[in-house]
Amino acid sequence: MIKAGIIGGAGYTAGELIRLLINHPQVELVFVNSTSNAGNKLTDVHGGLLGETNMKFTDQLPYNEIDVLFFCTAHGDTKKFLDTNKVPENLKIIDLSTDYRKESAEHEFVYGLPELNKERIKQAKRIANPGCFATAIQLALLPLANAQLLNTEVHVNAITGSTGAGVKPSATSHFSWRENNISVYKAFEHQHLGEIRQSLTQLQNNFSEDINFIPVRGNFTRGIFASIYLNFEGSKEDARKLYEDFYKNSPFVIVTDKNPDLKQVVNTNKCVLYVEKHGNKLLILSCIDNLVKGASGQAVHNLNLIFGLDETEGLKLKATGF
């Protein structure tokens, strides 16, 4: 059994990660560290785990008892922690924050998008888990970058559920504001743009066009639905073949011939992709669950790769569907 620990156990991504790990046939969850909740049951915070675990939060960090450590910490806190705490050299780390997503000679974290970096992830000791918007958008564009076909600016409109804002209440996550409402935020300057461009230029190093990204707050709890369009000279059939060929060895990416909807992916580690051709424009629709494929499920996928397990182990999840 692979023994795992979690730092930062109170948020939405931590709750989903706990759910996945305690049901993973090859993993034993040893501890969930949370200084503010130490001594409380996990189910006091994550009510959906009622009847599945009797574990309690701890303020201890027994590194010697685990093989892999997950960080579900606020952005900026993982780096602070690693800069001020001595973590065993051989301990695998999977970080769900933004801190190490930009690859650099200054650190050894590998960008953990399995559909792009599978072989590197298998050899890695430290993984930077991708962002949720970044995952949906990259998976929609990687086949085009791989074919050197990103030669025009890219237009993205993507709507996300309220869980993308985190568990801490805010004015824009309050039910009475969010219900029956939508709004745009961080237009053209979302923090995930850097990691998206990093991945696209990894495959097409001359890509320098604008990515015009409009993020939208949706009035639902979970999921991301991204609509992307750009110039494309080929046919719909040409595009579809590019996508099917690129993802033929990616078990969680499904290229569909039917216009998708969000409930097809909620509660799963899937990304569903769909393409249409309109004049000289290619439309790509990309749907994921922001908490699973966009966060905790992808982290478990990375765990499976690091430890040589089947990619789908512990991730054969059914979509809500209705």
Q: Which residues are catalytic?
A: 132
Q: Which of 134, 130, 129, 135 is CA-nearest to residue 94?
A: 129
Q: List the alpha helices (DSSP H) in 204-310.
A: 236-246, 297-306
CB-count exposure of residue 106 (10 Å: 0-12, 13-18, 19+): exposed
Sign of the CA dihedral running 262, 266, 270, 271:
positive
Instruction: State how far the Cα of 58 lies from the Cα of 38, in Å rounded to an integer.
Output: 4
Cα–Cα distance list, 155 to 88, 141, 159, 210, 300 (Å)? 44, 11, 14, 8, 31
**Single-letter code of the amino acid located at 168:** K
User: Is 278 within 8 Å of 257 (Cβ atoms)?
Assistant: no
Is 204 in a helix, a strand, or coil? coil
Instruction: State how far the Cα of 145 lies from the Cα of 130, in Å rounded to an integer.
Output: 18
Taking phi first (over 0 means left), then psi (-120 to 50 degrees means alpha), and beta for anything else, what does residue 8 get? left
CA dihedral 217, 154, 258, 310 (to 10 degrees): -80
User: Is 57 within 8 Å of 42 (Cβ atoms)?
Assistant: yes
Instruction: State how far the Cα of 108 lies from the Cα of 106, in Å rounded to an integer.
Output: 7
Locus of tokens 């450590």: 69
Instruction: State how far the Cα of 246 lies from the Cα of 255, in Å rounded to an integer.
Output: 10
